[in-house]
Amino acid sequence: MKTFKTIMSWVLPVVIGLGLALLIRQFWFTMVRVDGTSMQPNLQNNERVVAFKTSTIKAGSVVVFDAYGLDPDQTSKSAVYVKRVIGMPGDTVKYTNSGKLMVNGKVVKQSYLQNSYQQTTGSFMANKHSKVTGWTLNSLSHDQGWSKQVTNGKVPKGYYFVMGDHRSVSNDSRYWGLVPKSHMIGVVKAWPWQARKEYINNYQP
């Protein structure tokens, strides 16, 4: 009897601790590894970030989402992508021939990027998109054959338009379409010691 009580005295706290950890992970946050260079210069390949599941998604938020079923080239059911929200539900998004990103008719100052990272031209764009200069949501959805077509130039309700910060190498909404809210996992928050945390945490374009 004494042995049983002794065992339970350390087993029970461990079980409770594991249970709480699982609950927190399930409902509050999750750890994610950045895979690739599409979020440079702000997030690096293999960098670890935390995604909070209860945070509100805003324009400029860096988000984690389930990529399986969105990217037709993605075969892993556990694949997640890290990208930045450019268009919110109801927004119009376009990229001009002169290289300006416009949301709702206004030029977006992308202070989180150097000019070289803002360019949408590059090997990935050239291979996937017949236009390497200007585009609108309408032209992208038609040209790329998005499963969710856009006809009025606006991001539909319950969807988001996302892009990687390293535009010329990022595989994102431009190619396979909009991200439904049901695929969103959480909003990324950088650690206090990360060099470019101001461009990740609560960034407003």
Q: What is the DSSP annotation of 81-93?
A: EEEEEEE-TT-BE
How many domains in the chain?
1
Tell me which of 38, 141, 168, 173 is the catalytic residue.
38
39 belongs to a structural domain: yes
Q: What is the pLDDT of residue 23?
A: 46
Give the torsion sign (CA, 133, 84, 141, 77): positive
Count the Cβ atoms, other than its own, within 10 Å of residue 102: 14
Tell me which of 61, 83, 154, 170 is the catalytic residue.
83
123 is annotated as an active-site residue? no
Torsion of CA 40, 91, 160, 137, to 10 degrees: -80
The radius of gyration computed from the CA coordinates of the chain, to the nearest angstrom, equals 20
pLDDT tens for residues 73-86?
A: 999 999 999 999 99
Q: What is the pLDDT of residue 4?
A: 58
Q: What is the pLDDT of residue 107?
A: 94
Q: What is the pLDDT of residue 125?
A: 53
Q: What is the pLDDT of residue 147?
A: 86
Distance (Å, rounded) from C-alpha 26 to C-alpha 42?
27
**pTM score, whole prediction:** 0.82
107 belongs to a structural domain: yes
Count the Cβ atoms, other than its own, within 10 Å of residue 119: 15
Range of the domain at 104: 33-199
Q: What is the pLDDT of residue 56?
A: 93
10 belongs to a structural domain: no
83 is annotated as an active-site residue? yes
73 belongs to a structural domain: yes
Q: Divide the 205 residues of the chain into consecutive groups of 10 and give the mean pLDDT of each group.
A: 60 54 58 92 91 92 96 94 97 89 92 66 52 80 88 94 92 95 93 74 63
Q: Return the CATH number at 70.
A: 2.10.109.10
7 belongs to a structural domain: no
Distance (Å, rounded) from C-alpha 83 to C-alpha 17?
32
187 belongs to a structural domain: yes
53 belongs to a structural domain: yes
**Cβ atoms of 37 and 169 closer than 8 Å:** yes
21 belongs to a structural domain: no
Which residues are paired to 48 by β-bridges? 33
Q: What is the pLDDT of residue 202?
A: 62
Distance (Å, rounded) from C-alpha 149 to C-alpha 155?
10
Residues 6+ apart with CB under 8 A from 42: 62, 112, 165, 196, 199, 200
Distance (Å, rounded) from C-alpha 148 to C-alpha 194?
36
